[in-house]
Amino acid sequence: MTPFTLVSRSVEYESRLRFLLGERLRVVPGEYMLLGSETVADRAGEPRIVVLGPVLNFEETRQLIRELTQRNPNVVLVVVREQRSELEDWVDQLDLHAVLSPDASDEVTLELFERLMRWMVTTGRAEAADFEVPTPTPDEVRAIVEGPFVPRVDEAEAEDAPVESDETAEAVPAGPRWEFPPLPSDTPSEALAVVAPKGGQGKTTMSINLASGLAEVAPNSVVLVDADLQFGDITAALALQPEHTIVDAVAAVDDELVLKTMLTHHRDGFFVIASAPSPEFADQVPAAALGVLIERLRKLFRYVIIDTTPGLGEHSLVVLEHVTDAVFVMNMGVPSLRAVRTEFELLRTVGLMPANRHIVVNFADKQSGLTVRDVEHIIGAPVDVEVPRSSAVLLASNRGVPLIHDDVRDPAARGIRSLVMRIAPEAFPKRTWIHRKRPAHEPQ
Ligand SMILES: Nc1ncnc2c1ncn2[C@@H]1O[C@H](COP(=O)(O)OP(=O)(O)OP(=O)(O)O)[C@@H](O)[C@H]1O
Ligand SMILES: [Mg+2]
What is the DSSP secondary-structure string of 88-157?
Answer: HHHHHHS--SEEE-TT--HHHHHHHHHHHHHHHHHTTSS-GGGGPPPPPPHHHHHHHHHS---PPPPHHH
Residue 162: inside a domain: no
Note whether 270 and 224 are within 8 A (CB). yes
The sign of the dihedral angle between the CA atoms of 83, 89, 90, 94 is positive
Q: What is the DSSP letter of 402?
A: -
Ligand 2 centroid – CA 383 distance (Å): 21
Residue 438: inside a domain: no
Q: Are residues 197 and 323 in the same domain?
A: yes
Structural domain of 344? 190-423
Site residues for ligand 1, CB cut-off 6 Å: 196, 199-205, 228, 310, 362-363, 387, 389-390, 393-394, 397, 412
Q: Are residues 235 and 92 in the same domain?
A: no
Q: Are residues 357 and 214 in the same domain?
A: yes
Ligand 2 centroid – CA 247 distance (Å): 18
Helix/strand/coil for 276: coil
Domains: count for the chain: 2
Ligand 2 centroid – CA 199 distance (Å): 7
Residue 171: inside a domain: no
Q: Are residues 103 and 235 in the same domain?
A: no
Q: Are residues 240 and 378 in the same domain?
A: yes
Note whether 357 and 438 are within 8 A (CB). yes
Q: Are residues 360 and 231 in the same domain?
A: yes
Determine the residue of 205, 231, 235 to mutate for testing ligand 1's pocket, defined as the one with the most ligand atoms within 8 A of the Cβ atom: 205
Q: Are residues 98 and 205 in the same domain?
A: no
Residue 161: inside a domain: no
Determine phi and psi for 45, rounding to 5 degrees: 80, -140
pLDDT tens string, the chain, 444 residues long: the values are 789 999 998 878 888 888 888 888 898 888 788 888 898 898 888 999 999 988 888 889 999 999 999 999 999 999 998 766 677 778 788 888 888 888 888 888 998 899 899 989 988 889 988 888 655 555 554 444 444 333 333 434 444 444 444 443 333 333 334 567 777 777 779 999 999 999 999 999 999 999 999 998 999 999 999 999 999 999 999 989 999 999 999 999 999 989 999 999 998 899 999 999 888 888 899 999 999 999 999 999 999 999 999 998 999 999 999 999 999 999 999 999 999 999 999 999 999 999 899 999 999 988 888 999 999 999 999 999 999 999 999 888 888 889 988 777 889 999 999 999 999 987 765 443 334 444 444 433
Encoded amino acid at 134, one letter: P
Determine the residue of 34, 194, 198, 204 to mutate for testing ligand 1's pocket, defined as the one with the most ligand atoms within 8 A of the Cβ atom: 204
Q: Are residues 98 and 204 in the same domain?
A: no
The sign of the dihedral angle between the CA atoms of 401, 406, 408, 412 is negative
Q: Are residues 249 and 383 in the same domain?
A: yes
Residue 215: inside a domain: yes
Q: Are residues 118 and 253 in the same domain?
A: no
Q: Are residues 349 and 250 in the same domain?
A: yes
Residue 170: inside a domain: no
- Chain Cα centroid distance, residue 92: 38
